[in-house]
């Protein structure tokens, strides 16, 4: 039977290969051999092709198993697919967007190459530079100094999971032509006899200009919270590589499920906001400004598709899931922590009493 998944294994010892963060080669952690990305790519290109064909064949026919088990509902099976681990033979269940995963039984990194078909091949990949250990260290650092963190949260805290994931991103390049109209004012205050006169002059200010933006990221996965993804920006694009699957072993990887067309709106919002900020920044010597009219036109927009590395850490506290994310390249760490309401009340009361006493003493000294 043909293989429907491909495990990247060391040609020397047969152990799983991994792309280690910060390295430029694919490594075997067992025998220590390192292989050029291109070598691994060539080595497994054929296997990936065969695996894709095998999966297609498997879907077209096979054993009649109608009697075994009951029927899954259509909604239950939508988006779920099973694959056979090439290493241990176990069945791996993955959703429709998974393109790289690991076997839940033997931990073998597994590529699902048939998932590449019918979708755009990423143009770029930003390799992982931060390790799982660094992600855990960053989480501990994130806890530090958080006065409202429940003691139980840190004392009994166990990570439900820590996953390295390549998230699909659309990168928008755009030359922008923008214009804006502002109503501004400036004031002059002077004494005239027994009066203080405030002379306020109003102006209509028109500005237009051009600017160029490069690789504004918008995540292409509905599973990933857009706010989290924007919070871990920016990525250092100088380290971005032309896409190859050789960077994927050892991590999960998703293909996009929000296409570039549907992601334009978010990129446009950010470009518009920046362009108007640039134009308003040219208003000099005015005390206040109010935007009354504007347009921003994208002249020459281009979109690229890339996979970006993210460490996702999840934990549970009082039946609520807490998710933290770390930029797998820069280490920027973001998340929401639970708030101990008792501690919040305590600090509020302390600050209330302290501030009241200090202010009363000051007021009494000055006015009493």
Partner 1 sequence: MKKLFKIMLLTLTLCLTMTTAWAAKAQEVADGAGVLTPVQKTKITQQIQDMYKKHQIGIAFVSIKEDIKVKEGEFANGLLDKIYNNGAKGNMVFLVNTKSRKWYVATDKKVKAMISDKYGIESLGQKIVPALKKNDYNAACENFLKGTDELLTYYEKNGKPMAEEGTSPIILLGGALVAGALAAFGYGSYLKSSMNNVVPAAEASYYMVKDSFALENSMDTFLYTTFTRVPKAKESDKTVTDSSSDDDHGGGGGGY
DSSP 8-state assignment for residue 234 = P
**With contact defined as beta carbons under 8 Å apart, do 26 and 19 qualify?**
yes
| Of 210, 222, 288, 299, the one binding partner 1 by CB under 8 A | 210
311-340 residues in contact with partner 1 (CB under 8 A) are 334-339
Residue partners of 366: CB distance under 8 A and separation at least 6: none
148 scored as a contact of partner 1 (CB under 8 A):
yes
Stretch of 11-19, 188-196, 242-250, 299-307 lying at the interface with partner 1 (CB under 8 A): 188-196
Shortest CB 240 distance to partner 1, Å = 13
- CB nearer to partner 1: give 98 or 280: 280
Stretch of 130-138, 157-165, 189-197, 293-301 lying at the interface with partner 1 (CB under 8 A): 189-197
Stretch of 51-59, 90-98, 226-234, 289-297 lying at the interface with partner 1 (CB under 8 A): 226-234
Distance, in Å, from the CA atom of 30 to the CA atom of 78, rounded to the nearest integer, reads: 38
Shortest CB 37 distance to partner 1, Å = 27
Instruction: Name the nearest CA neighbour of 309 among 170, 171, 165.
Output: 165
230 burial type by CB count under 10 A (0-12 exposed, 13-18 middle, 19+ buried): middle
296 scored as a contact of partner 1 (CB under 8 A):
no
347 scored as a contact of partner 1 (CB under 8 A):
yes
146 scored as a contact of partner 1 (CB under 8 A):
yes
123 scored as a contact of partner 1 (CB under 8 A):
no
- CB nearer to partner 1: give 68 or 367: 367
Shortest CB 139 distance to partner 1, Å = 13
Shortest CB 172 distance to partner 1, Å = 9
- CB nearer to partner 1: give 51 or 149: 149
| Of 209, 239, 292, 299, the one binding partner 1 by CB under 8 A | 209
- CB nearer to partner 1: give 64 or 144: 144
149-168 residues in contact with partner 1 (CB under 8 A) are 149
- CB nearer to partner 1: give 27 or 280: 280
352 scored as a contact of partner 1 (CB under 8 A):
yes
Collapse the DSSP code of 290 into the 3-class scheme (helix H, G, I; strand E, B; otherwise coil) and give the result: strand
Q: How many residues sit close enough to partner 1 to count as binding (CB under 8 A)?
A: 73
Stretch of 26-34, 40-48, 251-259, 341-349 lying at the interface with partner 1 (CB under 8 A): 341-349
197 scored as a contact of partner 1 (CB under 8 A):
yes
198 scored as a contact of partner 1 (CB under 8 A):
yes
66-105 residues in contact with partner 1 (CB under 8 A) are none
Long-range contacts of 292-297 (CB under 8 A, 24+ apart): 292/181, 292/182, 292/183, 293/180, 293/181, 294/178, 294/179, 294/180, 294/181, 295/178, 295/179, 295/180, 296/176, 296/177, 296/178, 296/268, 296/271, 296/272, 297/176, 297/177, 297/178
Distance, in Å, from the CA atom of 101 to the CA atom of 165, rounded to the nearest integer, reads: 9
| Of 203, 236, 292, 300, the one binding partner 1 by CB under 8 A | 203
CA distances from 266 to 114, 141, 262, 358 (A): 30, 31, 9, 48
DSSP assignment string, 40-54: HHHHHHHHHHHHHHH
**With contact defined as beta carbons under 8 Å apart, do 303 and 173 qualify?**
yes
Give me the half-sphere count of Cα atoms (radius 13 Å) on the Cβ side of residue 230: 8
230-249 residues in contact with partner 1 (CB under 8 A) are 230-231, 233-234
How long, in residues, is the chain? Answer: 368
267 scored as a contact of partner 1 (CB under 8 A):
yes
b/e sequence 171-201, b meaning 16+ C-beta within 10 Å: bbbbebebbbbbebeeeeeeeeeeeeeeeee
213 scored as a contact of partner 1 (CB under 8 A):
yes
Shortest CB 126 distance to partner 1, Å = 15
């Amino acid at each position: 039977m043909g293989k429907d998944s491909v495990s990247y294994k060391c040609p020397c010892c047969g152990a799983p290969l991994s792309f280690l963060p910060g390295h430029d080669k694919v490594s075997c952690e067992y025998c220590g051999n390192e292989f050029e990305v291109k070598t691994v790519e060539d080595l497994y290109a054929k296997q990936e092709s065969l695996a894709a064909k095998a999966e297609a064949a498997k879907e077209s026919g096979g054993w009649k198993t109608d009697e075994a088990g009951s029927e899954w509902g259509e909604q239950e099976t939508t988006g779920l697919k099973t694959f056979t681990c090439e290493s241990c033979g176990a069945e791996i269940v993955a959703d429709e967007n998974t393109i790289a995963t690991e076997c839940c039984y033997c931990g073998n990194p597994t590529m699902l190459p048939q998932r590449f078909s019918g979708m755009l091949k990423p143009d770029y990949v930003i390799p992982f530079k931060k390790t799982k250990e660094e992600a855990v260290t960053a989480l501990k650092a994130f806890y530090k100094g958080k006065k409202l963190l429940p003691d139980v949260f840190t004392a009994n805290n166990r990570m439900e999971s820590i996953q390295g994931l390549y998230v699909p991103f659309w990168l928008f390049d755009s030359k922008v032509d923008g214009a804006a109209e502002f109503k501004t004012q400036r004031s002059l205050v002077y004494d005239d006899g027994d009066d203080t006169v405030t002379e306020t002059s109003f102006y209509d200010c028109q500005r237009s200009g051009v600017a160029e933006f490069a690789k504004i990221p918008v995540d292409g996965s509905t599973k990933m919270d857009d706010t989290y993804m924007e919070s871990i920006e920016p990525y250092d694009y100088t380290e971005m590589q032309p896409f190859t699957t050789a960077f994927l072993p050892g991590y999960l990887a998703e293909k996009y499920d929000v296409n570039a067309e549907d992601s334009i709106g978010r990129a446009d919002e950010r470009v518009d906001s920046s362009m108007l900020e640039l134009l308003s920044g040219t208003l000099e010597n005015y005390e206040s400004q109010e935007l009354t009219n504007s347009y921003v036109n994208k002249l020459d927009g281009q979109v690229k598709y890339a996979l970006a590395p993210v460490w996702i850490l999840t934990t549970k506290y009082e039946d609520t899931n807490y998710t933290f994310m770390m930029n797998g390249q820069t280490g920027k760490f973001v998340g929401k922590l639970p708030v101990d309401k008792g501690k919040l009340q305590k600090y509020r009361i302390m600050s209330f009493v302290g501030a009241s006493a200090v202010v009363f003493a000051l007021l009494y000294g000055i006015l009493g």
